[in-house]
Amino acid sequence: MSRYTEKRYRTHVLVAMAVYMLLMFLAWPYVRHVSSLPWKIALTLVVVLPVVIVIWLMAKRVMHSDELEQRLHLTALSVATGVVCAASLIGGFLCAAGVLALDGDVLIWVAPVLSLLYGATHLWLGRRYGGTGCL
Amino acid sequence: MKNRVRELREGPGWSQGDLAEKLDVSRQTVNAIETGKYDPSLPLAFRIAKLFRQSIESIFAPGKE
């Protein structure tokens, strides 16, 4: 299997995130003003599409990684997923118990928090294995 | 596990990057193997042995448990 190089991965992610930023500025502001439900859904899905592409790129990166890199990616993902799952369970139960007042908007933070935790864990693991710690 | 990968790599004057390219792995993986921070899988150990035309046992030896 040919390796999906770091440079190509970064370029693709950068392009996808630039499109995401552009859509956040151009399309997202209209979502609350559009009255038609299909348009609301379409605009929301368009904004999320670049992020879905980034997730697919990450999966491609992991699949094309060598065995040590895969171990680092999967360990980092496991830590990030575990922490986010625990936090959402705690938040969910506290909300159900009436201790916290959370609305649906909080779900927007799941992906960024997961990515941050994944990045930090991957950095730490990379340094532990003698790498530069790059993602 | 102890190994002679660094010694074998330095024989023909290869850099870690050169060896990584020949084995189709990252430079970080070569470095981690050489420093004993990571033990390669059996398929990768076989690729290393084949590249240096040696047996696996002559390259890798069990370390302290």
Q: Kindly state whether residues A73 and A23 are assigned to the same domain.
A: no
Which helix (H) or strand (E) covers residue A46, if one does? helix A37-63
Strand partners, A1: none
Residues of A in contact with B31 (CB under 8 A): 129-131
Rounded to whole angstroms, how far apart are CA atoms A92 and B18? Answer: 51
Q: Kindly state whether residues A7 and A44 are assigned to the same domain.
A: yes
ipTM of the shown complex: 0.83
CB contact under 8 A, B37 and A129: yes
Q: Kindly state whether residues A81 and A49 are assigned to the same domain.
A: no
Q: Kindly state whether residues A81 and A110 are assigned to the same domain.
A: yes
Q: Kindly state whether residues A3 and A58 are assigned to the same domain.
A: yes
Contact A128, B31 (CB under 8 A): no
Domain range enclosing A54: 1-64
Question: Which of A41, A64, A87 is the endpoint of a domain?
Answer: A64
Q: Kindly state whether residues A121 and A72 are assigned to the same domain.
A: yes
Digit-coded pLDDT (tens) for B2-54 = 899 999 999 999 999 999 999 999 999 999 999 999 999 999 999 999 999 99
Residues of B in contact with A130 (CB under 8 A): 28, 31-32, 35, 37
CB contact under 8 A, A66 and B32: no
Digit-coded pLDDT (tens) for A71-129 = 999 999 999 999 999 999 999 999 999 998 888 888 888 989 999 999 999 999 998 88
- Angle at the Cα of B6 from the Cα atoms of B1 and B12, rounded to 5 degrees: 145
Q: Kindly state whether residues A52 and A32 are assigned to the same domain.
A: yes
Question: Which of A11, A33, A64 is the endpoint of a domain?
Answer: A64
